[in-house]
């Protein structure tokens, strides 16, 4: 896995997901699906009740000899057979006849990977909800704070800080909506056999797949072909959208925490150290992990799309790489959003610095407002724009304030008196709509 962990990673509550991809955990998911399959096959009369019950009872990794499984891998070089053989050993010959009945390896493994993805999906939605709550608290604490909005890294117009927070909130909610609305088409069971045609169970196979899907709380593939990869590609792409929002938030905090801005910074804890040689340094450590892991995650959609393009009805290269990419995408996304949730919860806002930066241009940030006042009072848009442009260029050239420069344009005072001009360049008078 290429997930980048750092000292801040130790502070995160992973909610039980830290060991989800350990070998024994993966084996248990395979066994869970084998157990569900056996239950359904008993129900549909595909395998006998007595032997099926024995299989279900023993689908527990703690009952299997892990050394036998390892030796099985060395001997068979097969990803699933050693686990099935060990299960067969402990259930006895009669029951072993009905293990993994009528299906193929990838039916279990792909279903298992998407079953785990579904668990991560639910976790991601839960963390997004926490991030939205954190943003709501930021909005409550910073109501009425005016900041300089920036476009192309330059001052644009005054806005309420809560407008920025509302943008973050809206994008996170969009991501949540994408996760929810796409779920049924992504987390799907595949039980169609070796090439998707239910060859071993043509009469009852589709019903069997539907019942397995119901019991696992998943959807099912209309055509359970191993060559269909669209839903897995879509899943990874969905995760990159979440990371995009998190990385954007982290980038703004990362830059804004520099001394030149000092507007937003990560929460500080006593004893935190930024450098082994520069005592004054407090670095944006959470942002490192958010931005860095996002950059890694952004590379995965192209890789999974590339691997999905393979010939014929199934391909081991695709299986190997896509399963690995799904795991990597989940772990990367988990690291990213856990850190973003903490970042938002503890985000420090320096209101004094925001006000100082807002007033750096001494009212020029409200140039559009002056232009629109002149326009509405009869000068017209084009002429008003030209006039304000000339006033501001003169102010910059002579290193004087916007007000001083405007005071020299007496021909405009009959349209926009000085007192009205001073009101127009007050940042708080021109902040746009307030978003709740």
pLDDT digits (tens, 9 = 90+) for 168-220: 999 999 999 999 999 999 999 999 999 999 999 999 999 999 999 999 999 99
Please report which helix (H) or strand (E) contains residue 149, including its range: strand 146-151
pLDDT attached to residue 271: 66
Q: Pick the closest to residue 227 from 309, 303, 297 (CA basis).
A: 309
What is the CB-side half-sphere exposure of residue 321 using CA atoms within 13 A?
17
CB 157 within 8 A of CB 149: yes
Nearest 5 degrees, angle CA 94-CA 95-CA 99? 130
Question: Which residue matches tokens 């009805």?
Answer: 313
Q: Pick the closest to residue 232 from 190, 201, 270, 268 (CA basis).
A: 190
Q: Pick the closest to residue 332 from 299, 355, 363, 310 (CA basis).
A: 299
Q: Pick the closest to residue 200 from 51, 46, 389, 84 (CA basis).
A: 46
pLDDT per 10-residue tile (average), the chain, 436 residues? 83 92 97 98 98 98 96 95 97 97 96 98 98 98 96 96 97 98 97 95 97 98 94 97 98 94 86 70 88 96 90 85 95 98 96 96 96 96 97 96 97 97 95 88
User: Rounded to an integer, what distance in angstroms lies between the CA atom of residue 76 and that of residue 369?
Assistant: 75
Q: Pick the closest to residue 209 from 192, 196, 231 (CA basis).
A: 192
User: Rounded to an integer, what distance in angstroms lies between the CA atom of residue 88 and that of residue 358?
Assistant: 72
pLDDT attached to residue 312: 86
What are the angstrom distances between the C-alpha of 95 and each of 40, 88, 310?
15, 7, 37
What are the angstrom distances between the C-alpha of 56 and each of 27, 104, 227, 362, 401?
15, 18, 30, 75, 81
What are the angstrom distances between the C-alpha of 89 and each of 48, 52, 74, 160?
18, 15, 18, 68
The CB-based long-range contact list for 248-252 (8 Å cut-off, 24+ gap) reads: 248/168, 248/171, 249/168, 249/290, 249/340, 249/343, 249/344, 250/284, 250/286, 250/287, 250/290, 250/291, 250/294, 250/339, 250/340, 250/343, 251/287, 251/291, 252/164
Tokens of 202: 């043509």
pLDDT attached to residue 275: 65
User: Rounded to an integer, what distance in angstroms lies between the CA atom of residue 58 and that of residue 54?
Assistant: 6
- Kindly report the backbone phi and psi dihedral angles of residue 117, in degrees, each rounded to the nearest multiple of 5, phi listed first: -60, -35
Kindly report, residue by residue over 329-367, the tens digit of the pLDDT: 999 999 999 999 999 999 999 999 999 999 999 999 999
pLDDT attached to residue 274: 67
Q: Pick the closest to residue 426 from 365, 353, 352 (CA basis).
A: 365
CB 27 within 8 A of CB 83: yes
pLDDT attached to residue 2: 81
CA 306 remoteness from chain centre: 22
3-state secondary structure of 220: strand
Cα radius of gyration (the chain): 30
């Amino acid at each position: 896995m290429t997930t980048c962990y750092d000292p801040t990673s130790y502070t995160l509550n992973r909610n039980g997901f830290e060991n989800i991809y350990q070998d024994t955990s993966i084996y248990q998911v395979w066994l869970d699906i084998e157990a569900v399959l056996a239950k359904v096959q008993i129900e549909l009369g595909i395998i006998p009740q007595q032997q099926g019950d024995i299989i279900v009872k023993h689908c527990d990794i703690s009952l299997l000899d892990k050394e036998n499984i390892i030796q099985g891998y060395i001997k068979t070089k097969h990803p699933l057979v050693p686990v099935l053989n060990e299960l067969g050993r402990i259930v006895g010959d009669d029951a072993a006849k009905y293990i993994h009945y009528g299906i193929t390896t990838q039916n279990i493994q792909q279903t298992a990977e998407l079953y785990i993805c579904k668990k991560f999906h639910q976790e991601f939605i839960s963390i997004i909800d926490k991030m939205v709550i954190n943003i709501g608290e930021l909005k409550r604490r910073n109501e009425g704070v005016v900041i300089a909005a920036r476009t192309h890294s330059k001052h644009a117009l005054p806005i309420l800080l809560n407008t920025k927070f509302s943008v973050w909130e809206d994008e996170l909610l969009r991501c949540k909506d994408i996760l929810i609305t796409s779920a049924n088409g992504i987390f799907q069971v595949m039980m169609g056999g070796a090439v998707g045609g239910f060859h071993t169970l043509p009469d009852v196979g589709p019903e069997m797949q539907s019942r397995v899907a119901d019991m696992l709380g998943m959807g099912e593939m209309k055509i359970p072909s191993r060559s269909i990869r669209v839903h897995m590609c879509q899943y990874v792409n969905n995760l990159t959208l979440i990371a995009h929002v998190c990385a954007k938030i982290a980038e703004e905090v990362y830059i804004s925490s520099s001394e030149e801005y000092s507007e937003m910074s990560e929460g500080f804890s006593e004893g935190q150290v930024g450098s082994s040689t520069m005592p004054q340094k407090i670095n944006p450590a959470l942002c490192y992990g958010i931005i860095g892991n996002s950059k890694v995650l952004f590379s995965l959609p192209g890789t999974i799309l590339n691997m999905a393009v393979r010939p014929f009805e199934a391909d081991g290269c695709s299986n190997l790489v896509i399963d690995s990419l799904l795991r990597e995408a989940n772990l990367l996304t988990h690291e990213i959003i856990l850190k973003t949730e903490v970042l938002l919860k503890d985000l420090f806002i320096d209101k004094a610095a925001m006000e100082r930066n807002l007033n750096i241009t001494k009212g020029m940030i409200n140039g559009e407002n002056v232009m629109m006042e002149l326009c509405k009072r009869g000068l017209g848009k084009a002429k008003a724009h030209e006039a304000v442009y000339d006033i501001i260029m003169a102010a910059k050239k002579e290193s004087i304030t916007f007000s001083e420069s405007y005071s020299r344009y007496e021909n405009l005072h009959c349209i926009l008196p000085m007192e009205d001009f001073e009101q127009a360049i007050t940042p708080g008078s021109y902040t746009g709509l307030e978003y709740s």
